[in-house]
Amino acid sequence: MLTKPVSPEDLVAVHAVTKIFPSSRGMSDVHALGPLDLTMRAGEFFAVVGPSGCGKSTLLEIIAGLTRPTNGEVFFNGAAVGDFVPEGIGVIFQEDASFPWLSVRENIAFGLKRKQVDADTTRRRVDDALKLTGLQAFADAYPAQLSGGMRQRVCIARTLVLQPRLILLDEPFGALDQQTRLLMGDEVLRLWRETGATILLITHALDEAAMLSDRVGVMSARPGRFLEIVTTHWPRDRDSKIVTRQEFGDITGHLWALLRDQSIKSIAVSA
């Protein structure tokens, strides 16, 4: 397997990645992303913010191995990411990806069963994930009986049982109201601490990025490039109460100062 020397602390390395979507029916090519570089340390919580259409989700899909970059390379755990999602990466999408024909327990066990993990280990890991996500009382319920936030927790639990080293979250709380998003943020922080996983969060919510992350990558309008990577300096043991602190306001304000012109540019282009 192709490997490239990266720092042992770096779990993810993105080198000069660009994405150009080919033209269709007389339209010109769409240069969506890059060139862009990024490294993520093991155990880090990294968020990406940027204007609509700047290529945030494309970046996530490239890191996950769901989309091939036009140029550049991505390394996960020292190995190049190819056409398949590597072992050790979990992805949680904005859309509800819970399977309506399976109960909560069956949903969570889905990946373990496909990997033919033995029944005892499966039961233990599913029970742990149910406990971790607060879904024990709903283990036998079906997604249709749950709220949007609870279904998202089912998807998180389904990802966690596979014990990924890197969790990619693509605007997972986009469909939830503000209070629920804050509480879900607390849960994600708790899961991050307890599992020791590395997290990449794609979001358009500046406050969410400022509250949850160790570092926030601010992207420009299309083609998306990092304008600045902002370090938050939050302690690892944090929760949503930090939104009341002066530094939180400062960070969010700084993110908006970086993004304002880009957002105007993005709106002008789409108009």
Partner 1 sequence: MRLRKATRIRLVLIAGMVLALEAACRTGLIRPFTMIPPSEMFVSLLRLFQSPEVLSDIGQTLRAVALSLSGALVVGFLIGALLYAFPRARRIADPLLGTYYSVPVFVFYPLLIVLFGLNSIPKTVIGFLYAFVAMIINTLNGLDRVPPVFWKTAKVQQLGRLATAVHLVLPCAGPYLFTGAKLAVMYSFIGVIGSEFILSSGGLGYRISFSYNNFQSDVMYGLILFVLLVVICINMGLYAWERSLMERRGGR
Cβ-based nearer residue to partner 1, 103 or 180: 103
Cβ-based nearer residue to partner 1, 11 or 167: 167
- What is the x/- site pattern for partner 1, positions 102-141, by CB under 8 A? x-------xx--xx--------------------------
Cβ-based nearer residue to partner 1, 57 or 213: 57
Return d(Cα 58, Cα 36) in angstroms, integer.
Answer: 12
Cβ-based nearer residue to partner 1, 115 or 124: 115
- What is the x/- site pattern for partner 1, positions 63-102, by CB under 8 A? -xxx-----------------xx-x-xxx-x-xxx-xxxx
Return d(Cα 206, Cα 54) in angstroms, integer.
Answer: 15
Q: Which parts of 250-269 interact with partner 1 (CB under 8 A)? A: none
Binding of partner 1 by 21 (CB under 8 A):
no
Q: Are strands 45-49 and 215-219 parallel, antiparallel or unpaired?
A: parallel
Cβ-based nearer residue to partner 1, 159 or 220: 159
CB 160 within 8 A of CB 5: no
- DSSP lists the bridge partners of residue 226 as 219
# of chain residues touching partner 1 (CB under 8 A): 26
Query: How many angstroms separate the Cα of 72 from the Cα of each of 46, 58, 83, 183?
Result: 21, 14, 14, 37
CB 35 within 8 A of CB 219: no
CB 60 within 8 A of CB 91: yes
DSSP-derived letter for residue 264 is: H
Chain residues in the site for partner 1 (CB under 8 A): 61, 64-66, 84-85, 87, 89-91, 93, 95-97, 99-102, 110-111, 114-115, 142-145
